[in-house]
Structure 1
């Protein structure tokens, strides 16, 4: 059977003179990639659930150069398409000695698949607009980022398009159990990625710029792992076991596998097992169930870690799982279990200038919402069980599940940023620049999405903190917040609302937060993509929205290193 390209190629990690490229094909094939001027790699596809995938490690690329590349399935060239109207895809490597070389990454979250996909008229897709601009000169360093960072809700399993809903209705009529308009099985999940990643502009962008990704809730279901009672209720649904197993297995294949470096791929035991058998369906199903087994809810030794880290030049990015590995025990809820938090703090030590923390959920929310979430969390452990049950209903009804609603983790992240920023005797130390002097990080930035509005906020952690610390939130890429919510979101940023909600939290015994934060830009409610730029010790973020005709325009540009001095 002749194999064809179904999804991809998707350029994922570029590390030194190596790159990883992910692909889905219509049947089994040997996948080969060759770059002009040197660099090649090949891999045999693996099979699961009747689908075929490969991740190819391309080795021997020239450092500091842009190389066009081609892909073959067996002996047929399939990329670039002969009729493509777009520029050739390229792999750009960084120079061997790039300590002074600038670093840029674009980021955002919450992208419904295609225009009008769910029957709603959405503003233009910011990722499409970014791709079209980059097409004017894919090798221009002023246009081209080092990395695309996608911070959750890359697909919506619970908010499907008309096309996917028609497919689901046929499946349900044939006896497949599950909600009428939501995906459940692995095969149904594949339709979401097919629809999203075959968008022509996005397909080209993903083939041309490296990308990393982390899930939020909609990859599985809205409010995933909000609380222990939520998990208990979901487990009673007859379709839930297949939903969570398929959701996590498909996430591993389509998103997480590409987050791993070539060395991490070589060491991953699951990948080794999957590529050693003719059909990996049972392996992936068992894997999906095992990493979400109810008895794992308080386990500090998860069998698989979704969080990951990478360095680009003098920038370190640490992406955190805010969903799957939560500890949900009331009174000691945690965003990450102890073992994974220890891993995170280890990553905060090292040889870098700028620390970037990827968190699908914002650490610093609009202050009024922060205080409401802290108040609610306190009430959910009230000795009066009726009040606690009522607080739990509120938590689930209005999505009170951000860092403030996991107060132990909120305080731990705040303390980590403070210690890093002080650079004192007890703080993790960072070797800065070629000369090797030690100092606190030049900046700490927390990248987030989820909340369907974009903003920049500066944390105030005390006079001893020398490092500028910011919350950078960009959402949505292609979605929209309901119109009635916009004035409420704006109000949540006001001092009056913050004082009122702080009084509410205080009445429940919630201590004052160990920091304050000030909004520097936003809130912006349109579709957007943001760019974080580092050059030496300097840093800035630019938020860009989409115009009605699908072009990008600057919403705000905020200098992250000067903002503290001028504030």
Structure 2
């Protein structure tokens, strides 16, 4: 970067334009093992914040502040351009690619840069113009990969993880034909179910930022939100409740799939969580097994203190602290409870979900180094099929 521009000028040592994003992708994917993996294993990808910038679209205040900088427009446009080239095109089926007007335009001209730039700028100005979420069908398995970054609604009082169009698309795909699928997989880069203390802290923070205890607490809440990365589904309580209800409906009825799984990463470790609906929920608990499967395969190292915090978040003491935060924030508790049924596991690891008919099995392997070899060691093998 220093060979291209003065790093004393914003954005400093971070990427600034499309060319620098291409270098970042090259550096990230250059590792021989990563290159081999991406060349031999089919992939379905979706961006999170670090594909553009840390804490991307955390809040309306964050967005207003960063849009006032002179370098942000080029950064966001370039980030979306490079994502389209390096990740999004590979997510689309052949039929979707053939019908994509931007893909046709780029292929029809010697240099598609300007066409791609106009599309990316339009997607940033009006997120409803571009849908990054997508559907893939693998026999009787439906995968829905959901954009939980660009599709956000950020103004306080209207905050939502998904805008109206995105939420309607997801609801339609999930509920369209219950008998067509044995399994429904929903990819959300951000976990739906967090350790309960983390969930309650994000819900508490969202209430403070929304003014539940006045302006002074709202300003404090915004500082905490950015410092602690409080931006998962729990930080959008209405969206969390609607998504939870959608999953319940997806797993209900005589033709429901065997499993409904939310697949996530982001949190630099792995765990399994399973919800429990109250007996009083309208419509009753789902017949399908509903699960949160979380795994960050190649990730930043997690300090011991953070590992302890993740574990504490699942404990009884952690849950008690969470209930205190909910009361202080003057907000409602979660519409569903959940428990950790696997993990947490730390380190470089791969989680594999094997689906055959209505049977489902989960395997987790971890990378272990010895004096002679690098090995993948199996630490979990479990059936996920709900017992009759």
Please tell me the TM-score bracket, short chain as reference.
over 0.9
Deviation at 1:440, TM superposition (A): 1.0
Matches within 5 A, 1:170-209: 170-173=3-6, 178-209=10-41
User: Are residues 1:256 and 2:72 paired?
Assistant: no
- 8 Å Cα contact 2:186-2:263 kept in structure 1: yes
Which of 179, 183, 187 is 1:358 aligned to? 187
Q: How has the CA–CA distance of structure 1 residues 198 and 367 changed in structure 2, closer, same or farther, with 3 Å as cutoff?
A: same
- 8 Å Cα contact 2:188-2:264 kept in structure 1: yes
Q: How many residues align?
A: 376
Structure 1: 5+ residue stretches without partners: 1-167, 424-437
Q: State the 4+ residue runs in structure 1 displaced beyond 4 angstroms.
A: none
User: Are residues 1:267 and 2:99 paired?
Assistant: yes
Give the distance between the partners of 1:292 and 1:476, measured in 2 at CA. 29
CA shift digits 1:30-80 (9 cap, x unpaired): xxxxxxxxxxxxxxxxxxxxxxxxxxxxxxxxxxxxxxxxxxxxxxxxxxx
Secondary structure of the equivalent of 1:547?
Answer: strand
User: Are residues 1:457 and 2:283 paired?
Assistant: no
- 8 Å Cα contact 1:334-1:408 kept in structure 2: yes
CA shift digits 1:197-238 (9 cap, x unpaired): 332232233222211100000011110000000011111221
Give the distance between the partners of 1:177 and 1:541, measured in 2 at CA. 48
User: Are residues 1:318 and 2:134 paired?
Assistant: no
Secondary structure of the equivalent of 2:50?
Answer: coil
User: Are residues 1:510 and 2:328 paired?
Assistant: no
Deviation at 1:422, TM superposition (A): 2.3
User: Are residues 1:371 and 2:200 paired?
Assistant: yes
TM-score (norm 2): 0.93
TM-score (norm 1): 0.64
Q: How has the CA–CA distance of structure 1 residues 478 and 388 changed in structure 2, closer, same or farther, with 3 Å as cutoff?
A: closer
Give the distance between the partners of 1:543 and 1:178, measured in 2 at CA. 42
Deviation at 1:421, TM superposition (A): 2.0
User: Are residues 1:555 and 2:379 paired?
Assistant: yes
- 8 Å Cα contact 2:136-2:144 kept in structure 1: yes
User: Are residues 1:535 and 2:359 paired?
Assistant: no
Deviation at 1:439, TM superposition (A): 1.0
CA shift digits 1:158-216 (9 cap, x unpaired): xxxxxxxxxx111223x895433211111101112222333223223322221110000
Give the distance between the partners of 1:558 and 1:329, measured in 2 at CA. 42
Structure 1 equivalent of residue 366 of structure 2? 545
Matches within 5 A, 1:25-424: 168-173=1-6, 178-293=10-125, 296=126, 302-348=128-174, 349-350=176-177, 351-382=180-211, 384-423=214-253
Secondary structure of the equivalent of 1:344?
Answer: helix
Q: CA RMSD in A?
A: 1.7
Secondary structure of the equivalent of 1:551?
Answer: strand
- 8 Å Cα contact 2:268-2:299 kept in structure 1: no
Structure 1 equivalent of residue 257 of structure 2? 441
Deviation at 1:462, TM superposition (A): 4.3
Which of 298, 316, 334 is 1:477 aligned to? 298
Larger Rg: 1
Give the distance between the partners of 1:407 and 1:267, measured in 2 at CA. 36
Deviation at 1:352, TM superposition (A): 0.9
Structure with more of its chain in strand, by fraction: 1
Deviation at 1:411, TM superposition (A): 0.5
Give the distance between the partners of 1:291 and 1:445, measured in 2 at CA. 29
Structure 2 equivalent of residue 466 of structure 1? 287
Matches within 5 A, 1:517-532: 517-532=338-353
Structure 2: 5+ residue stretches without partners: none
- 8 Å Cα contact 2:268-2:301 kept in structure 1: yes
Deviation at 1:534, TM superposition (A): 1.2
Give the distance between the partners of 2:278 and 2:255, measured in 1 at CA. 18
Deviation at 1:388, TM superposition (A): 1.0
